[in-house]
C-alpha cells in the first residue's frame, strides 16, 4: 500500500513539475488580432509598456472608433494572456476636447519612483495633425483613474510621434518627432516626470518617427521609422553611448518595410537564465485602423550587432527570459 502511495505521489510531483515548467512557455503568434481573457479583441495600438511586480501593463489606442481613440490598459504575466484593466483615458470624460478637438496617439506609461505616481505621456493631436502637441495624465494607482495634467507643445516645440525612456538613474525622457517631422527631440523630464525641462535635437533633418530606445550595458539602441503615415518603412537602428550625442549613422535592420510594421516599443525580458529583447510594432491598416495588428519579434543585440528577423510564431518563457522558434516557424 505504502509503495503504491509513494509511487502515486512521485507521479503527481513529476506531473506538477512538468506542468509548472511547461506552463511558463507561451506561444506568441504574429499577424492575428489578440483577444483578452474576456474573449474581446485587444485594442492597444501604438502600445506603451511598464513592468511592475512581475506584471506587464500595456496601454494603447483603442481604435474601435477609428479617429476618436480612447486609451485601454491590459495586464499580463506572460505577454500572451491579456486581462482588460479598463479604459483609462476616455473621450469626453478625461478631457472635454478629447474625442472632438483632440485625439490621443501613442500613449506611453511611466512610474515615477520619486513621487510614486504613474504618468502617461502621449501625442495630443487635432484631426489634421496641425496641433502637434503632447499631453500628460497622472494617477496614484497604475490602473487609474488617470487625470489630465497638461497639454501643449513641450517647451513650445511642435511635437508628434512619441515615446518615453527611463535611464538607469531614473531620469526620464520624452522623445518625439519635432518641428514638422524634421528632427527627433529628446526632452529631459523634470524629477516628477510631469514636464519637459530641456530639449536636444537628434537626427537633424532626417525625418524619423516612431522612436523606441533600449539601453544594454552602456549602449543606447534606438529604432525608428521614416515619416510615411500608416505605410510601413524600413526600421533603422542607431547606437550611442550617450543619449544626447554621438548617435551612429542610421542603419536599416530587417527587411524593406520592417516586416510590414512600425516600432512602438522595445521590451527587455530579464529572466532567471537569460535576457530576451522583444520588438513591438504596429501593422497598421490591416485592413482598417481597428484591425491593425500588434507584432512581437525577438530582437538580438548581442555583440553590438542587431538581428531582426520575422518569425510567424515563437515560444516565450518570461520567467527564464528565453525564447525559441515553434516547429511551425522553423
Residues in contact with ligand GAL by CB under 6 A are 46, 105-106, 161, 209-210, 227, 229-230, 262
Nearer to ligand GAL, 91 or 224 (CB): 224
Nearer to ligand GAL, 263 or 322 (CB): 263
Residue 231 Cβ vs ligand GAL, minimum distance, rounded to whole Å: 8
Q: CA 225 to CA 256: how far, in whole Å?
A: 11
Nearer to ligand GAL, 211 or 298 (CB): 211
Residue 60 Cβ vs ligand GAL, minimum distance, rounded to whole Å: 11
Q: CA 145 to CA 166: how far, in whole Å?
A: 23
Nearer to ligand GAL, 45 or 95 (CB): 45
Residue 279 Cβ vs ligand GAL, minimum distance, rounded to whole Å: 15
Residue 125 Cβ vs ligand GAL, minimum distance, rounded to whole Å: 7
Q: Is 21 helix (H, G, I), strand (E, B) or coil?
A: helix
Closest-by-Cβ residue to ligand GAL is 229
Residue 229 Cβ vs ligand GAL, minimum distance, rounded to whole Å: 4
User: What b/e string do you get for 149-163 counting C-beta neighbours within 10 Å, with b at 16 or more?
Assistant: bbbbebeebbbbbbb
Nearer to ligand GAL, 63 or 221 (CB): 63
Q: Are 200 and 168 in contact (CB under 8 A)?
A: no
Q: Based on the number of CB atoms within 10 Å of its own CB, is 310 exposed (0-12), middle (13-18) or buried (19 or more)? A: middle
Tell me how long the chain is: 330
Nearer to ligand GAL, 8 or 230 (CB): 230
Closest by alpha carbon to 69, among 124, 8, 110, 23? 124
Q: CA 252 to CA 237: how far, in whole Å?
A: 6
Residue 284 Cβ vs ligand GAL, minimum distance, rounded to whole Å: 7
Q: Which residue has the cell 535576457?
A: 275
Q: CA 225 to CA 211: how far, in whole Å?
A: 7
Neighbours of 227 (CB within 10 A): 18
Nearer to ligand GAL, 234 or 271 (CB): 234
Residue 293 Cβ vs ligand GAL, minimum distance, rounded to whole Å: 14
C-alpha distances in angstroms, 124 versus 2, 88, 211, 231? 69, 15, 17, 21
Q: Which residues, including other chains, have CB under 8 Å from residue 46's CB and lie 6 or more apart?
A: 60, 61, 105, 106, 107, 264, 282
Nearer to ligand GAL, 202 or 210 (CB): 210
Nearer to ligand GAL, 209 or 260 (CB): 209
Closest by alpha carbon to 254, among 243, 265, 263, 267? 263
Residue 37 Cβ vs ligand GAL, minimum distance, rounded to whole Å: 27
Residue 262 Cβ vs ligand GAL, minimum distance, rounded to whole Å: 6
Amino acid at each position: 500500500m505504502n509503495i503504491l502511495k509513494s509511487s502515486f505521489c512521485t507521479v503527481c510531483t513529476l506531473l506538477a513539475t512538468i506542468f509548472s515548467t511547461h506552463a511558463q512557455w507561451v506561444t506568441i503568434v504574429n499577424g492575428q488580432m489578440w483577444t483578452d481573457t474576456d474573449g474581446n479583441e485587444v485594442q492597444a495600438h501604438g502600445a506603451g509598456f511598464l513592468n511592475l511586480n512581475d506584471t506587464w501593463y500595456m496601454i494603447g489606442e483603442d481604435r474601435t472608433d477609428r479617429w476618436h481613440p480612447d486609451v485601454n490598459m491590459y495586464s499580463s504575466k506572460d505577454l500572451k494572456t491579456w486581462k482588460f484593466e479598463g479604459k483609462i483615458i476616455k473621450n469626453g470624460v478625461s478631457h472635454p476636447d478629447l474625442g472632438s478637438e483632440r485625439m490621443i496617439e501613442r500613449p506611453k506609461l511611466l512610474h515615477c519612483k520619486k513621487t510614486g505616481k504613474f504618468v502617461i505621456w502621449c501625442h495630443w493631436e487635432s484631426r489634421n495633425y496641425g496641433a502637434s502637441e503632447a499631453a500628460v495624465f497622472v494617477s496614484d494607482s497604475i490602473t487609474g483613474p488617470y487625470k489630465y495634467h497638461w497639454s501643449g507643445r513641450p517647451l513650445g516645440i511642435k511635437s508628434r510621434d512619441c515615446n518615453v525612456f527611463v535611464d538607469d538613474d531614473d531620469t526620464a525622457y520624452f522623445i518625439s518627432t519635432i518641428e514638422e517631422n524634421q528632427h527627433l527631440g529628446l526632452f529631459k523630464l523634470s524629477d516628477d516626470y510631469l514636464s519637459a525641462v530641456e530639449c536636444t535635437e537628434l537626427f537633424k533633418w532626417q525625418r524619423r518617427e516612431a522612436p523606441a530606445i533600449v539601453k544594454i550595458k552602456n549602449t543606447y539602441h534606438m529604432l525608428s521609422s521614416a515619416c510615411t503615415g500608416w505605410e510601413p518603412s524600413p526600421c533603422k537602428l542607431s547606437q550611442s553611448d550617450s543619449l544626447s550625442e554621438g548617435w551612429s549613422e542610421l542603419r536599416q535592420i530587417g527587411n524593406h518595410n520592417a516586416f510590414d510594421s512600425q516600432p512602438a516599443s522595445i521590451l527587455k525580458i530579464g529572466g532567471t537564465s537569460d535576457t530576451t529583447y522583444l520588438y513591438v510594432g504596429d501593422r497598421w491598416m490591416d485592413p482598417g485602423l481597428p484591425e491593425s495588428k500588434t507584432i512581437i519579434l525577438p530582437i538580438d543585440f548581442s555583440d553590438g550587432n542587431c538581428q531582426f528577423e520575422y518569425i510567424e510564431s515563437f515560444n516565450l518563457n518570461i520567467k527564464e527570459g528565453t525564447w525559441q522558434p515553434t516547429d511551425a516557424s522553423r
